[in-house]
Amino acid sequence: MSKKNSHQHNIKKNRKKNDQVLKSERKKDYSKLLYSLSFIAVSILGILIFSNTFNVPFYFDDYDSVVRNPLIKNLQNFTTLPDILDLNPRFISYLSFALNFHYGALDVTGYHLVNILIHLINTFLVMFLTHLTLRTPLLKDKYDKSSKTLFVFMVGLVFIAHPIQTQTITYIVQRMTSLATLFYLLSLCLYIMAKFVSWNASINKIIRFGLIVLLLVFSFLTAIMGLWSKQIVVTLPLIVILYEVMFLRNRENKINWKIIIGLSLFLLVSLGLVLFKIGLPTEADSTPRSVYMLTQINVLVIYIKLLILPINLNFDYDFPFTYSLLDIKTIIDLAILLAIIFLAIKFAKKYRLISFSILWFFITISVESSIIPIRDVIVEQRLYLPMFGFSLLLISLVFLFIQKYRIPSLFLFSCLILCYSILTYQRNSLWNNPISMWTDVIRQSPDKLRPNFYRGFAYLHSNEIDLAINDFKNVIAKYPKYYLAYDNLGLAYQEKKDYRTAVKYHDEAIQINPDNPIAYNNRALAFMFLGNYDKSIDDLNKAASLNYQYDDAFYNLGYVYFVTKKYENAIKYFSKALELNPAYTDIYNYLSYSYNELGNFSKAKEQVDLMRSKGITPNPRLLERLKY
């Protein structure tokens, strides 16, 4: 070959090489774009399927944790951090409710907006954790770049759309679960990123060391924040150990035993300190640990069924206790669980993602499904954190088929996500109607007390008084010592303006439970409408003595003194109520009027100015009466 031809050949060869590089770079940019679009697509789907939840009212535990909780009604209650060894502060969760209350009082829209936002962030973290996992040394070459993007996208779709997620997202108080999950996932991601930085020799040693320390510190802090959201985060060290063993090995497939031993010691010392300080916790003292643990064998199988086939979801299960390991159903369920765990361990090397997914499920659910008795033996929100394991497992199985049957597999998966989305939207529609929701629960748990009582409660708040009375009386017939049914029956008769009958039922409630401040407050209202102000004041004082932060009792005391024209006492109790609950904006009108009647016109004007500065419109009749 001549020099000229050789030169031309080299030019063509270099052009071809350059073209390949350009194509490769374009492909990289395209994959990055697809990766970004996958997050956007998942967000849009999440917003659509939860778009009908913004008006879902408060349910059940929402009343104790939010509506009637004095703690969240003043941000000053959150100026001190809890003890790091306190396993039940839920400081971060209650702070989030306090911020909601501060900016929107009891308008449910804001609470649901935050819950949906947390769910979206968790989905992003699930996708990012999947992305990191696929980049670990042992999985780095398992899929090409486009397959990894598709894998991450599909995991996100399952996590955000699965119908079992509705109870965590739509039930306001279960923000505790989703918030704990957020910090759990974030802490794990930060830890993995620290490991990636430690492997990156291209970074300057000093900068690399600084980044590792920073990431690990933030990982620890987010773990603590998760612990202050809900106790499920205590399993995080176990998950980190599992992740180290399964994925964070080097290319020679060696485990860093120093890290494993260090993490294990940290876990053991932490558990030892907690057990020394508070002992092994329990929520349901009446349930023996052995009985609860046996029952959870059956519950875990139900959980697995709900993940695979999410139909007949139930807000309040009526699940029987298991008292013997020799029960045939328990033996079968235990065999199923042990077989699943055995297969996960046996095929850990060949199918790492599948094994990790299964073990993630069992570890993350272990706090609430093991030896710590909890009042409710089965609730759907406990599957929220384990859902990542199911999402990863499902997509890992799908990808086994995609390699041979790509189009049919993707089509079937798309149909599955469509079904999930429709079921989630329908389930959220049911949440919008408490009467329909509780009726659905009664259909599945007909003999359980709570659904029957809370449907009556829903009827009462929907002004269907006769139906409420009927439900409350049915509850009393079955459970004659359930004081809440008597108390709410009294409220129902107050709505009918039959105050004497109302007092009779409030009396019954107080006789059964004389330490319940709400019943005294409710009976005080009936006495007030009957014109018996002395008895009303006595009951309200009793309610306030039973709960020094009971804002409603102080508000009603202020009101009784106001209508009886004892303005000094009215000011005293209205001020206390406002201190406990700044959302009582109508109190400013009462305070201004009271100061005006006492001749303290500067204070009366001060209250009006305060109202205007807070964007509250003063009562026009008040302005006409004021003498300043």
User: Token digits for 31?
Assistant: 């994959």
Residue-level pLDDT at 259: 82
Distance (Å, whole) CA 307 – CA 358: 12
Is 83 a domain residue?
A: yes
Reference 463, options 499, 434, 506, 495; nearest CA is: 495
Compute the half-sphere exposure of residue 63: CA atoms within 13 Å on the CB side of its CA: 6
Residue-level pLDDT at 628: 53
Give the count of beta carbons closer than 10 Å to the beta carbon of residue 363.
18
Reference 353, options 187, 132, 531; nearest CA is: 132
Is 520 a domain residue?
A: no
What separation in angstroms does the CA of 191 have from each of 5, 214, 365? 57, 10, 21
Is 497 a domain residue?
A: no
Is 39 a domain residue?
A: yes
Is 197 a domain residue?
A: yes
Distance (Å, whole) CA 305 – CA 302: 5
Is 477 a domain residue?
A: no
Distance (Å, whole) CA 556 – CA 26: 70
Reference 396, options 147, 55, 50; nearest CA is: 147
Q: What torsion, rounded to 10 degrees, do the Cα atoms 547, 553, 557, 560 define?
A: -150
Count: domains in the chain: 1
- Count how many residues are written for the chain: 628
Compute the half-sphere exposure of residue 231: CA atoms within 13 Å on the CB side of its CA: 17
Is 558 a domain residue?
A: no
14, 6 Cβ separation under 8 angstroms: no
**How many degrees, rounded to 5, is the angle at CA 379 between CA 87 and CA 227?**
20
Place of tokens 């109302």: 502
Look at phi and psi of residue 184 and say left if phi exceeds 0, alpha if psi is from -120 to 50, else beta: alpha
Distance (Å, whole) CA 603 – CA 541: 27
555, 580 Cβ separation under 8 angstroms: no
Residue-level pLDDT at 627: 58
**How many degrees, rounded to 5, is the angle at CA 454 between CA 448 and CA 460?**
145
Reference 320, options 295, 354, 297; nearest CA is: 295
Distance (Å, whole) CA 483 – CA 511: 8
Look at phi and psi of residue 497 and say left if phi exceeds 0, alpha if psi is from -120 to 50, else beta: left
Q: Which range marks the domain in which residue 400 is found?
A: 11-431
Amino acid 400 reads: L
- List, in order, residues 6 or more apart from 477 with CB less than 8 Å away: none
Is 498 a domain residue?
A: no
What separation in angstroms does the CA of 350 have from each of 239, 355, 468? 20, 9, 59
85, 460 Cβ separation under 8 angstroms: no
* pLDDT averaged over 10-residue windows placed end to end, the chain, 628 residues: 52 53 51 84 96 95 92 89 73 95 93 98 98 92 88 97 97 97 98 92 89 95 94 93 88 76 81 70 82 96 97 95 93 97 93 96 95 93 97 95 82 95 97 96 95 96 96 95 96 96 97 96 96 96 94 95 95 93 88 91 89 83 67
626, 595 Cβ separation under 8 angstroms: no
